[in-house]
Chain A
């Protein structure tokens, strides 16, 4: 698989509309990236130890995604639900912006890029043989040219939920205190609530990991 193949992937089933904007699941997008290039990685750019770059009273986050050894860096402002810059973002706001920025950077490599371009469907392979039986693609609502595309952090597939749970468990090792763990949990609470309903076992795995780490921190170990 190469960049051209990423451009052809139809992401329509993994988007959702919210407040007139199209959101793409970061978990699903990253899973597709890893399928294409297992060596892919991403990096949140830091500014004096902070992921936030101050710009005129508000903040930007920057993420670099490297696929097929090619790094692409994207920026995104930290915005509230009305898409207004947040002067004092909390951990949830920062987390949301970073994951949105991650998906934007992935799109710059080709995956879901067609949505940003205001198209309904990805590039088709003109040289490919036409299929005898084909289902018409569900036509997505055409985004208006001036609408900024954002991404969400959630979709319903088993794979993305597993990826989400594994990610939480893995990154919980970066937490140094109970407050860090609580903050990380709260940042993902909406998705965790959903996980509890649909994938109880995965939820329990995450809960047990966090509980164990909390206990260790509380006991000072």
Chain B
């Protein structure tokens, strides 16, 4: 009974547009009150709000968000795209491929896929359109390339999963590398295929002189520095993910300064935006925390695991079903909301089937990426549409080939968990 009421309150609030963290907190309190009365509610609300934000590992979130904001204002993304475009622009579909490579490079220094989609929209999209690219194709490759940021470390989404699943942040971040490379190559292959099947879609760029090509490479230095300061130190174990995140933010600050943009008017809004987003994420985690207490007391996950076990299905059948659920949720819900609402329920089930929590985290993120580029609420497509001033339907249509290719990648990573787990197991 308490479970039904708690869930009903949650879903009504979510449908009415109540912020996810608020909705989870409120429905959690209602449920806890029904189970344990006022004493239980007071007991949890006394400690949860503070203990939620005082954890050492939570510091990774504001620091990676700050790094993302600083990388954005550094203007490094423009140069990154220009450098790659100069080198591969002569290939058929070259600028599209440059977008994917710049997206992967940017992802390696920025953990936010919306930030990445916005940046690529502002840089590579105009370049492609100027070159005479089919707008649909250009928009699609930008939207999908933006999703790489949530897979390639540093990834905010993977950190949130780690906090929810109580898994190693370091291992999860490193586990995103190989799948990130695979997704990048998949985008490259899709672009190549599209350009090959109809060359008018993607005209070849004019050549760039070798001197210019080499001059453009100077952006690679700061990028590698930031990548090393974050992913390098995590992989080698020199610093904890928390320290790596702060080093990354500091490194990004240095890059901003090096590029002569360290002015108060530029830096201050970046710090403010990072605080807003950090607070938003911490609020969702607090809501999930309160709701989680309630959920554990109802023992609903244990019954779910027992029921699924009683069905005697093959693990891959359950896994396929789980992935379909994530794909459906991804079409209309925010990716972080999906994580906090589903991971506490799904993870015990997945573990009972003998799967690895690190692998599952990466699979969930790769699956969630699809939701960013599918209607009706694929956020990246809306961002691209807004920047490109094109109809959002066109962007969704342009993303379709990438969605299909992405589903193949999900199937591959699901069938061969070793692809995901090999690198983190070397740590």
Does B associate with A? no
Query: Could you tell me which A residues sit within 8 Å of B by CB distance?
Result: none
